[in-house]
Structure 1
Amino acid sequence: MVGTEETRLIILRGNSASGKSSIAAGLREQFGRNLALVGQDNVRRVVLRERDRPGAANIGLIDVTARYALDAGFHTVVEGLLYADRYAAMLEALVRDHRGISRCYYLDVSLQETLVRHATKHDAEYLAQVTDEHLRDWYRERDLLTSGLETVIDAGSGLHDSVKRIMRETGLDQVSPLDR
């Protein structure tokens, strides 16, 4: 078992440019301190600098990091592409083992909308490295976990509404942040 009955675990999955990182940042901004962000891109690309492959080391490190944060009393957001065929077993075990409230969300955004959203990113270096062709190669339509754990949020839900919804559905809107 991991975390406490008071901790919240939020899993945000979806394709590139679907809004996962923006929603995670919005949750932290709305909630305040005591909300850990475990981003797949950070763990995989920055910490380990590895490719996203089945059985890759980042899967275990994401799991260990999320469990550590929950055990330390942090509400925790795990976000990333987190392809179902590679990450489902780890994510489902994490949800099953968590003592508190756990909610999983899949951001369902079409490939066309993905390309439009990607083009609006402000990081010129990232845009030069990640092309529309990359996005097409990485895109998986409705890559849902087969366990049925996820709530689908479609492209029509704006950032503010998505953050507000997740805050409400996880009960974070009723919890005071700790000043750590």
Structure 2
Amino acid sequence: MTVVTVGTEETRLVVLRGNSASGKSSVAAGIRDRFGRGLAVVGQDNLRRIVLRERDRPGAANIGLIGLIARYALDAGYHVVVEGILYADHYGDMLARLFADHRGPTHLYYLHVPFEQTLARHAAKPIANEVSEPQLRDWYRELDLLSGGTETVIGDDSTLKETIDRIMLDTGLADLPALDR
């Protein structure tokens, strides 16, 4: 098996996973706002729903595209936040290869929100009228963690600011300068 290295020893790779309405996109945006230029956000929803307009299923094209974009950005010297529901059984192999190939620090987080809170948060989202409670219930997977115990679980008791602060400190991004791009 050929090892393909990606990024540098200085690039940071952060993965934010969790169910719908768990705060992944808000956390990713907050990290980018706090860090500044030089941090790429690779969002599953944007690539799957907007760019490719495909359903989330095993073997779908967005899986490889997410990996490809993350690798490209890391090789270009960007820190990368990959965020999305990213079901373990659909995305786990791609993520494992990305982690194994990344030369710099990699940090994985699972944002855990109980289903009842998912429903309440979903009601405030722009797509609330497009997705029903039965659909949300069908999508919801309780603690859909990747194999290997590599993810840090952050519960719903952590505020948005606390979650961003924690990830900035854990990853070392808080101590790094934004890149002049």
1:17 partner SS: coil
Structure 1 position 34, deviation (Å): 0.7
Structure 1 residues 123-164: Cα deviation after superposition (integer angstroms, max 9, x where no partner):
2xx121122222111000000001211000011001000000
What residue number does 2:178 align with? 177
Mapping of residues 104-123 of structure 1, within 5 Å: 104-121=108-125, 123=126
Aligned to 1:129: 130
* Alpha-carbon distance in 2 for matches of 1:28, 1:100: 18
Tell whether 2:154 aligns with 1:159: no
Distance in 1 separating the partners of 2:75 and 2:108: 19
Q: Partners in 2 of 1:44 and 1:97 — Cα distance?
A: 23
Deviates more, 1:13-22 or 1:112-121: 112-121
Sequence identity of aligned pairs in percent? Answer: 64
Code of the residue aligned with 2:26 in structure 1: it is S
Q: CA offset at residue 179 of structure 1?
A: 2.3
Q: Separation in 1 of the partners of 2:52 and 2:124?
A: 27
Q: Note the C-alpha offset of 1:50.
A: 0.6
Deviations 1:109-136 (A, max 9, x none): 1000101111222x2xx12112222211
Q: Give the aligned partner of residue 34 of structure 1.
A: 38
TM-score (norm 2): 0.96
* Structure 2 unmatched runs, 5+: none
Q: How many residues align?
A: 177
Secondary structure of the residue aligned to 1:13 is strand
TM-score using structure 1 length = 0.96
Counterpart Cα distance in 1 of 2:132 and 2:160: 24
Query: Which amino acid is the alignment partner of residue 40 of structure 2?
Result: A
CA distance in 1, matches of 2:137, 2:180: 42
* Whole-angstrom CA distance in 2 between matches of 1:117 and 1:127: 9
Please give the alpha-carbon distance, in whole angstroms, between the structure 2 residues aligned to 1:148 and 1:167: 21
RMSD: 0.7
Match of 1:97 among 85, 95, 101: 101
User: Could you tell me which of 81, 94, 98 is aligned with 2:85?
Assistant: 81
Show structure 1 runs of 4+ deviating over 3 A: none
